[in-house]
Amino acid sequence: MSLWSILAAPLLAGNDLRSMTPTIHDILTNREVIAVDQDKEGKQGRRISKSGDQEIWSRNLAGNAQAVALFNRAPAATNHLKVGRSSLTSAPTYVRDLWSHTDVTPTIAEFSANRAPHGVVLLRVAH
């Protein structure tokens, strides 16, 4: 769903909505992630970095903000996912992790995250 929101694609759920688990329900109804997908700028994101099984995708949003997704496509956990200044349009004033619903202390240098195998961090970054 993170990549779906970065790409501004329509959400198509192929499951029976009447019998989905609470976990699937929480994923499909995450308002913060849906807001990224439905951002009024309507601009599609793109991959801005790939190093082995690690990828960073970014999308410009309305209000001088960005959505940044850090993907770990590896079968092992990693703490080497980093977003640096080259990935951001300017120094962040506000960073929010959209899956954990937590604010992250912004730094000018970089943001790094631990991710589970095949995990993702989706951030909303305000400038």
What's the token pair of residue 103? 């604010």
Which CATH fold topology does 2-126 show? Immunoglobulin-like (2.60.40)
Supply the pTM of this predicted model: 0.85
Give the pLDDT confidence score for residue 41 in this predicted structure: 93
Predicted confidence (pLDDT) at residue 81 exceeds the cutoff of 70: no
Task: Read off the pLDDT of residues 5-47 as tens digits, 9 standing for 90 and up.
Answer: 999 998 888 889 889 999 999 999 999 999 999 999 999 999 9
Give the pLDDT confidence score for residue 17 in this predicted structure: 84
Q: What are phi and psi of 29, to 5 degrees?
A: -115, 20
Is the Cβ–Cβ distance between 36 and 59 less than 8 Å? yes
Predicted confidence (pLDDT) at residue 123 exceeds the cutoff of 60: yes
Is the Cβ–Cβ distance between 68 and 87 less than 8 Å? yes
Please tell me the total number of residues recorded for the chain in this structure: 127
Contacts of 109-112 with C-beta under 8 Å, sequence gap 24+, read 109/84, 109/85, 110/82, 110/83, 110/84, 110/85, 111/82, 111/83, 112/79, 112/80, 112/81, 112/82, 112/83
Task: Read off the pLDDT of residues 68-79 as tens digits, 9 standing for 90 and up.
Answer: 998 888 887 776
Task: Read off the pLDDT of residues 85-107 as tens digits, 9 standing for 90 and up.
Answer: 555 666 778 889 999 999 988 66
CB atoms within 10 A of CB 117: 12
Mean pLDDT calculated for residue range 52-58: 90
CB atoms within 10 A of CB 32: 15
Give the pLDDT confidence score for residue 77 in this predicted structure: 78
Give the pLDDT confidence score for residue 94 in this predicted structure: 86
